[in-house]
C-alpha cells in the first residue's frame, strides 16, 4: 500500500511539473497573442477568445473536464454582473472555458503588474481596482458601471480572495455598488471541485471532478446603495446553494 501511495504521489508531482511548465509557456504564448490582437480589436472580444483558448489549454493539460449546469440562466444578449465563489487559481481558467459569453474581469490592481499577463488583461479591457486607494477604486467602479450600462458584462469574485478552506467568505461591497449603479442583474454561480484540484497554499495539482453551477439572475434594480447589504445577502445565499448543488442521482462531473 505504501508503494502504491508513493507511486501516486510521484505521478502527481510529475504531472504538476508538466502543468506548471505549460502554464508558463502558454501564458507567454497566449499573452503575447492577446497583446497583438488587442491592437486590432476595438471591443476586446477577440482578446477574450484568446483568453478562452488559454483557459482551455490549461484544463486540457491538467486532465480536467468541466460539467456546466444552469446555462439557461444566462442571457448572452444582455449585460450582467457575474459573481462566483473563489476556491483556487483554477477558477479563472474554468470560468473562461465554461462560459460561452463575453465578459471582462474586475480585478485587483496587482494582477495588472504581472509581465505579459497584465498587458494582456489591459488589452482585453479588464478593469483594475486598487483597493488600497479608495478614490482610485471609486473612479474604477464608476468607469465599470458605465461600461456595463453600455453592454459590457463583468465577472467578479465577491469574496475578494481565495478561500483557504473552501468555505464561502464574507463578500466585499464594491461589486454590489457597481450592480446597483449600473442597474443590471447579478448572475450568481459556483465552481465546485477546484479546491480539491489546487487549494490555496498547496503546490501539487490533482485531477478532480469539476462543475460550474449557474443560478437564476437577481435584479439589482430592486435595490439601492442603502439596501445593497440585502442584495449581498441574496447573492451570498444563491452562491452558497450553488456550491452545495448536486444533480439528481448524485452523478459526478
> Mean pLDDT throughout 70-96?
95
What is the pTM assigned to this prediction?
0.88
Residue 165 near residue 216, CB atoms below 8 Å: no
Rounded-to-integer distance, Cα 111 and Cα 203, Å: 20
Q: How far apart are CA 246 and CA 67, in angstroms?
A: 12
Rounded to whole angstroms, the Cα distance separating 214 from 109 reads 27
Mean pLDDT value across the chain: 88
For residues 126 and 66, the model is more confident at 66
Q: Is residue 251 predicted with pLDDT exceeding 50?
A: no
What is residue 145's predicted lDDT score, i.e. its pLDDT? 85
Query: How far apart, in Å, are the Cα atoms of 127 and each of 68, 215, 228?
Result: 26, 24, 21
- For 138, other C-beta atoms within 10 Å of its C-beta total 12
Q: What is the pLDDT of residue 87?
A: 94
Instruction: Please answer whether residues 83 and 239 qualify as being in contact, where contact means their C-beta atoms are separated by less than 8 angstroms.
Output: yes
**Given pLDDT bands bounded at 50, 70 and 90, which one contains residue 122?**
confident
Residue predicted with more confidence, 123 or 26: 26
What is the C-alpha separation between 106 and 239, in angstroms, rounded? 18
Q: What is the pLDDT of residue 2?
A: 56
Is 253 a residue whose pLDDT tops 70?
no
Residue identified by cell 449581498 is 232
Give how far the C-alpha of residue 208 lies from the chain's centroid of Cα atoms, to the nearest Å: 18
Amino acid at each position: 500500500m505504501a508503494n502504491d501511495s508513493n507511486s501516486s504521489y510521484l505521478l502527481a508531482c510529475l504531472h504538476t511539473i508538466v502543468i506548471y511548465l505549460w502554464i508558463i509557456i502558454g501564458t507567454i504564448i497566449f499573452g503575447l497573442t492577446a497583446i497583438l490582437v488587442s491592437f486590432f480589436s476595438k471591443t476586446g472580444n477577440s482578446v477574450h477568445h484568446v483568453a478562452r483558448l488559454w483557459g482551455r489549454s490549461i484544463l486540457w493539460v491538467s486532465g480536467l473536464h468541466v460539467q456546466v449546469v444552469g446555462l439557461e440562466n444566462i442571457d448572452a444578449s444582455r449585460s450582467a454582473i457575474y459573481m462566483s465563489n473563489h476556491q483556487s487559481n483554477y477558477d479563472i481558467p474554468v470560468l473562461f472555458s465554461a462560459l460561452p459569453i463575453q465578459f471582462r474581469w474586475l480585478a485587483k490592481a496587482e494582477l495588472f503588474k504581472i509581465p505579459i499577463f497584465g498587458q494582456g488583461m489591459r488589452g482585453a479591457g479588464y478593469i483594475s481596482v486598487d483597493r488600497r486607494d479608495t478614490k482610485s477604486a471609486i473612479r474604477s467602479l464608476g468607469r465599470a458601471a458605465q461600461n456595463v450600462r453600455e453592454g459590457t458584462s463583468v465577472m467578479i469574485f465577491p469574496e475578494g480572495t481565495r478561500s483557504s478552506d473552501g468555505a464561502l467568505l464574507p463578500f466585499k461591497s464594491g461589486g454590489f455598488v457597481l450592480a446597483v449603479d449600473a442597474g443590471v442583474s447579478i448572475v450568481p454561480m459556483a465552481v465546485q471541485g477546484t479546491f480539491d484540484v489546487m487549494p490555496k497554499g498547496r503546490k501539487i495539482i490533482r485531477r478532480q471532478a469539476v462543475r460550474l453551477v449557474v443560478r437564476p439572475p437577481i435584479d439589482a434594480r430592486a435595490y439601492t446603495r442603502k439596501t445593497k447589504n440585502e442584495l449581498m445577502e441574496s447573492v451570498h445565499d444563491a452562491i452558497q446553494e450553488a456550491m452545495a448543488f448536486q444533480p439528481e442521482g448524485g452523478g459526478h462531473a
